[in-house]
Amino acid sequence: MLPPSQPTGEFSLAAIDLNDCAQGAWEAIIDRDQLLATRARLVGAKPIHNGTARRWLLSGIAVCSVCGKTVRSARGITHPTARRSDGSKAPSKTYHSNRCIDGHFHRNGAVIDELIEEICIARLAEPDAVTSFPNPDDGVDVAKLHAQRSAAQGRRDALIAMVSDGTHHSR
C-alpha cells in the first residue's frame, strides 16, 4: 500500500489513514491484518536509538574495511578554491556524509544512500524476495488487536462527539 504524500520534514505515521492509501502494483509481502498489527505496535512508540544512528541508511550498520568499526553519519563541509573570474571562492556547503570513526574514510552519504536504495529496490523486485523475510509466529493475536483498535476508535469518536456538542465537563 502506498500512503499519500506528506510535506517534506513533516512525516507522521499516525497521520496516515490506511483508507487513503493506494494499492501497489505488486504482490503484497504482508497482508492487511499483519500491517494493522505492526502499525499498532509502531504508532506512538518512541524510537529506541540514540541520535542519528539510523537516520541514514548505513550509519551504525556498515563497517570500515580497514578497522572493522561501525560507520557513522557526519556532516561534511566543502572547501571551495578560488576559481571564479574575480578570484573569490564559492561559499562552503555542508552535506550528509558517512565516515569511519577512526578516520579511515569520509564520503558523501547522499551518493552512497542512493546506491543502497537502488540495490535494495532491485533485490525486492526479484520474484523470490518474499522468501528473504522470516515469518516468525510472534504470538500476535490479530483478532484481539482489531477488537482493541475498534474499541479505541469508538472511545475516541465518543469523546469527539462529547466535546463538539458541549456535553464534556472539565473538573
Res 30: pLDDT: 82
Residue ranges of the chain with pLDDT lower than 70?
47-55, 84, 134-138, 166-171
36-to-12, 33, 61, 148 alpha-carbon distances in Å: 16, 5, 28, 12
Could you tell me the pTM of the whole model? 0.42
Res 170: pLDDT: 52
Res 166: pLDDT: 67
Res 49: pLDDT: 59
Res 68: pLDDT: 92
Res 21: pLDDT: 83
Within 10 angstroms of residue 28's Cβ, the number of other Cβ atoms is 12
Going by C-beta distance under 8 Å and a sequence separation of 6 or more, which residues neighbour residue 64? 70, 71, 100, 101, 102, 104, 105
What is the tens place of the pLDDT at every residue in 68-83? 998 888 888 887 777 7
What is the tens place of the pLDDT at every residue in 16-27? 888 888 888 888
Which residues, in sequence order, are bridge partners of residue 77?
Answer: 94
Kindly tell me the burial class for residue 77, based on how many C-beta atoms sit within 10 Å of its own C-beta (0-12, 13-18, 19 or more).
Answer: exposed
